[in-house]
Amino acid sequence: MPPTRSDDKVGDTTVTVPRPGRLSRAWQSDIAWSFRHSPVAIVAAIVFFTLVFAALAAPLIAPHTPFDPATLNLMDGFTPPMGEGLGSGSLYWLGTDDQGRDVFSTILYGMRLSLMIGLAAVGFAAVLGVSLGLIAGYAGGWVDALIMRIADIQLTFPSILVALLIFGVARGLLPPESREQMAVWVLILSIGLSEWVQFARTVRSSAMVEAKKDYVQAARLVGRRPVAILFRHLLPNVMGPVLVIGTIYLALAIITEATLSFLGVGAPPTSPSLGTLINIGQDYLFSGEWWILLFPSLTLLALALSVNLLGDWLRDVLNPKLR
Amino acid sequence: MFAYVVRRALQGVLVLFVVAFIAFTMFRFVGDPLDGLLGQEATQLDRVELRERLGLNDAVPVQFARFVGNALQGEFGNSYRNGVPVAGMIAERLPATLELALVSALFATLLGIALGVYTAINRDGWLANTIMSASLIGVSLPTFLIGVLLIWVFAVELGWLPSFGRGETGNLFGWDSSLVTVSGLKSLVLPAITLGLYQMTLVMRLVRAEMLEVLRTDYIRFARARGLSERAVNFGHALKNTLVPVITIIGLQVGQITAFAIVTETVFQWPGVGLLFINAIQFVDIPVMATYLLLVGTLFVTINLIVDVLYAVIDPRLRAERPAGGAST
């Protein structure tokens, strides 16, 4: 073991150089340096975390409770932005929709749902893909061949199509009464299942390299079980690219969710996500109520663009080879 | 070469087999096939008789063989929702989708190559930089949002173009086409741009990157030294050598275009197979979903096969035996 800085000896006296604290080490790390020198990443991060914060604190920030019918005033319907509702007289920053729901509040709650589904779907895809990739890369042989052939076949089809199909099949298996309540879970399942392949392929190739290294052989020699080797020893060494793929796929998952909801096969109008809101807003374009469409669209764009830019930046920093 | 093509074709057949099996599983086990065929007042006896007549009591492999046999003859059963044969429903709507996909692919290719060449040649010009920045937003915009925004600007505010449907269709070589009437052509503009925009930016960025690479090579410098005109260098020498990867990307993107046609067709109420598929999902119309899956699977496998063969024709290294399990993307 190499001597650490604190027990370096100069002559007879021991000079102790204090180890910098965690925060200052993080501040001086390569990632932080490149973050501070990339204006795009800074702006994207500010936008993204503002949106996440707004989504998390939606119940506190939202001036209205849009999904509680008791608080709605139908007379307030179609109030333009910065206008006062005809019924209640309250001010609506971004206007209201046909039922008098405050657009700003519905966006906050919709973003909450979009983000939650996106994160859960990517998490599910990552867990599934990383596990299968580790197993394929470590086991090799027919297990590897089977998993990777399934991945190849799925990769032949665009992920939106796979998600749509899984969504349709899951709906077919559910009894009609519970379809609306289960919609969010079905969305997470279908988007997650449509995105695991890239995780598995990346993890498999790094696991194949790592599995040949000495520390893995040593772990095997001391008699660790395969599961322990996979998740305690291999996993930490293949996680770098997973983070990058995860960020990029978060943007994809948010867009896929919005697309499914927009198509009317995702989140139901009673608990709308951003995609559902855009779908609702589309109906009022021809009658001139542009705000019902515009503001959810801008929010979705800001969300997708900021995650995309953060993902691009992270990819360049962590793993230039992936470019 | 021959062995390579045969191996690729066999892989394609295997993929199709798996797709057919998934379609069959959906068809047979998701929802009850009898529900669509029998009315509300059917008795238990009717059900038993129909089960027997449809062969739903046979062994599963036998049923699967029958399913594949029927599919090969263009027999996909009846829609649960309106009881007519699925094959007819699809055949009726396929021309609309193919036409839309074709026009979008053309738009993406031609404009993509043109803009790619322009931004590569004028790499520091303000217009080129603007185009490049705009393309980043274009990539992040979801297809449906592009469609909705185009409708807003060009159909609602400006009123130049229709916002939904195919317009009038005329007969073009026995094909119900909207390419031959003015209103049909006008209806095609917005959906085609919506569908092709992502691919257009993709082609543009690829052409630009390849062009920048080629423009640095020695043979371009020699072409300049020979005193060839700028035009001859850029288009005759540089562009020609960038087209190989572009062609393969476009080939592979045809699949993406087909998938996103579902979205575009919903936004513009375009009467194609994608809209049919979305409606099938909403009403859990399993036969239509299964048939669409088979159709798209066949299309993708065929495209991949063509691209693989083209690769082999273009790149002699691929004709040699490749190590097993090589990454193929």
In a domain, A10, yes or no: no
E runs forming strands in chain B: 170-172, 175-177
Interatomic CA distance for residues B121 and B109, integer angstroms: 18
Interatomic CA distance for residues B31 and B33, integer angstroms: 6
In a domain, A5, yes or no: no
pLDDT at B194 over 60: yes
pLDDT single digits (tens) B293-311? 888 888 888 888 887 787 7
pLDDT at B57 over 50: yes
pLDDT at A47 over 80: yes
In a domain, A4, yes or no: no
Q: Rounded to the nearest 10 degrees, what angle do helices A274-282 and A103-139 cross at?
A: 130
Least confident of A108-122, B30-44, B274-288: B30-44
Closest-CA distance of chain A to residue B128, Å: 20
Confidence band of A220 (pLDDT split at 50, 70, 90):
confident
In a domain, A178, yes or no: yes
Position B81 scores a pLDDT of: 74
Is the pLDDT higher at B177 or at B292?
B292
Confidence band of B328 (pLDDT split at 50, 70, 90):
very low
Q: For A290-315, what is the mean pLDDT?
A: 86
Confidence band of A118 (pLDDT split at 50, 70, 90):
very high
Output the six-digit token pair for B136. 């980043």
The pair phi, psi for residue B166, each rounded to 5°, is -105, 0
| Range of the structural domain that residue A244 is part of | 43-322
**Which CATH number fits the domain that encloses residue A103?**
1.10.3720.10
Q: For A199-207, what is the mean pLDDT?
A: 90
Length of chain B: 329
In a domain, A15, yes or no: no
Interatomic CA distance for residues B160 and A283, integer angstroms: 19
Q: Nearest Cα to B76, choosing from B93, B88, B62, B63?
A: B88
A contacts of B163 (beta carbons < 8 Å): 286
Bridging pattern class, strands A91-92 and B170-172: unpaired
Position A128 scores a pLDDT of: 94
| Helix, strand, coil tally for chain B in percent (to 5) | 75, 0, 25
In a domain, A34, yes or no: no
A contacts of B284 (beta carbons < 8 Å): 168, 171-172
pLDDT single digits (tens) B24-54? 888 777 766 666 566 666 677 777 777 777 7
Q: Pick from B145, B266, B329: which is nearest to A301 by CB?
A: B145
Interatomic CA distance for residues A16 and A8, integer angstroms: 7
Is the pLDDT higher at B224 or at A100?
B224
DSSP B29-62: HSS-HHHHHS-TT--HHHHHHHHHHHTTTS-HHH
CB atoms within 10 A of CB A57: 12
Is the pLDDT higher at B76 or at A248?
A248
Q: For B252-256, what is the mean pLDDT?
A: 79
Q: Which amino acid is at B26?
A: M
Q: Pick from A160, A251, A308: which is nearest to B259 by CB?
A: A160
Q: Pick from A153, A265, A278: which is nearest to B18 by CB?
A: A153
In a domain, A307, yes or no: yes
What is the count of structural domains for chain A?
A: 1
Interatomic CA distance for residues B293 and B76, integer angstroms: 12
Length of chain A: 323
C-alpha pair distances (Å), A94 with each of A64, A75, A295, B189, B191: 12, 16, 8, 32, 30
Q: Nearest Cα to B328, choosing from A151, A307, A193?
A: A151
In a domain, A272, yes or no: yes
The separation between CA B48 and the C-alpha centre of its own chain, rounded to angstroms, equals: 42
CB contact at 8 A, A107 and A277: yes
Say if A265 is an interface residue toward chain B (CB within 8 Å): yes
Confidence band of B76 (pLDDT split at 50, 70, 90):
confident
CA angle, B38 as apex, B37 and B42 as ends, to 5°?
170
